[in-house]
Amino acid sequence: MVESTKFSGCILANLPAHESFVHGRRGSFRTKLLAWYREHARDLPWRKTHDAYRVWISEVMLQQTQVATVVPYFDRFLIAFPSIADLAAAPEDQVLRLWEGLGYYRRARQLHRAARLIAEVHNGEFPRNPDDVRRLPGIGRYTAGAILSIAFGAAEPILEANTVRLLARLLALRDDPTSGPSQKILWRAAADLLPRENIGAFNQALMELGSQVCVPREPRCPACPVAALCPTRKLGLQKVIPATPPKPPIEDVKEAAIVVHRRGRLLLRRRQATERWAGMWDFPRFAIGQPSLAAEGNMALSQQVRELTGLSIGPVEHLTTIRHGVTRFRITLDCYLATAAGRCSAPDGAEIAWTSPGELDEYAMSVTGRKLGGIVATRGLGKKVKG
């Protein structure tokens, strides 16, 4: 149950925290926030436009990703696909290649599917109806609210990591802000605070204040335009609010990748829909148990490559070990080198390609796949490298 904290002498007296804040200081909050935003908003490429397509691309790229990382990706993506029609007409490989390194590749595949839907169902125009927008692949409540408010000025609230933290502090909400009851309170506050005009700017200002001033560890309260309205600051609870939700445990994953080569060309396999990094190209790769398949010998590794690609391989040689963290997984990738020895029947749906090390750049690959490709391209196929 969410705490309706009452602090005597503060703005929360006599009312549940969220109601007191929203109804008591709404006008003052909006004025101060928007004035601050006019002066301090960062100059970002997607802020130069109200075009729904550009706002949409930026919002999807910014999910789980830092602004500084997104800027060059956003520019490159818009040069390659200047319109929804261009994105809809592009092959998935090209979309994934341009997304490579941003991570969370499902976002790119959903974006691509959504562009095709908009081209087919909405005549290539980004829809304005909230239900239509929320029906698009990869667009949830937050993304829909951001696009509709920023592009069309619609009265739609937003709530993402930065605004959750900011609003939790402004409401002195002590419970886990990701819990169902807290989310209800926060969404309601985000909706109740919306002004009648400048809704897109207001929503962006909330996010900007959360990301630039009301930061997680040491919020810059002396520089905060709404400090006088903030009960968390008044009570010195910045380190306690928002409460930290329990983190999912880190999972160790051990995998093997085999660089199979034949006459100077490398074998790639496209990852299937049910796999991590679906649609991207990779060296034949699979999970290995503890103790590793390597310890079980060449036969076990050969068997896995055959099952994935329909190819037999010669003896394997250990090449290197790559360690990489992705979301909650800590991956240890044992990499091997082997020559192709012959063909047998490929499994259903297997897509393979042979490419020279110099052409690897044309394929969308996972971070570890790209790293391994780089090692092979640099060191050559005949030489062993250190792990």
Q: Letter for the amino acid at 308?
A: L
Q: How many residues of this chain interact with ligand SF4, rule: CB under 6 A?
A: 15
How far is 321 from 229, CA to CA, in rounded Å? 53
Task: Kindly state the smallest distance separating residue 327's Cβ from ligand SF4, in Å.
Answer: 28
Nearest CB to ligand SF4, comparing residues 143 and 238: 238
Report the site for ligand SF4 in 201-260 (rule: CB under 6 A).
Answer: 213-214, 219-221, 224, 226-227, 230, 232-233, 238
Strand (E) positions, the chain? 251-262, 265-270, 281-282, 285-287, 311-313, 317-326, 329-343, 352-355
How far is 156 from 150, CA to CA, in rounded Å? 9
Residue 167, interface with ligand SF4 (CB under 6 A)?
no
283-347-301 Cα angle (round to 5): 45
How far is 58 from 230, CA to CA, in rounded Å? 30
Nearest CB to ligand SF4, comparing residues 12 and 305: 12
Task: Kindly state the smallest distance separating residue 372's Cβ from ligand SF4, in Å.
Answer: 44
How many helical (H) and strand (E) elements, i.e. helices and strands, does the chain have?
Answer: 15, 8
Q: Are 369 and 101 in contact (CB under 8 A)?
A: no
Q: What share of the chain is helix, strand, coil (3-state, %, to 5)?
A: 45, 15, 40
Radius of gyration (C-alpha) of the chain in whole angstroms: 25
Nearest CB to ligand SF4, comparing residues 47 and 234: 234
Task: Kindly state the smallest distance separating residue 157's Cβ from ligand SF4, in Å.
Answer: 18
Active-site residues, by number, are 59
Closest to 106 measured CA to CA, from 140, 39, 43, 60:
60
Give the binding site for ligand SF4 (CB under 6 A). Answer: 166, 169-170, 213-214, 219-221, 224, 226-227, 230, 232-233, 238
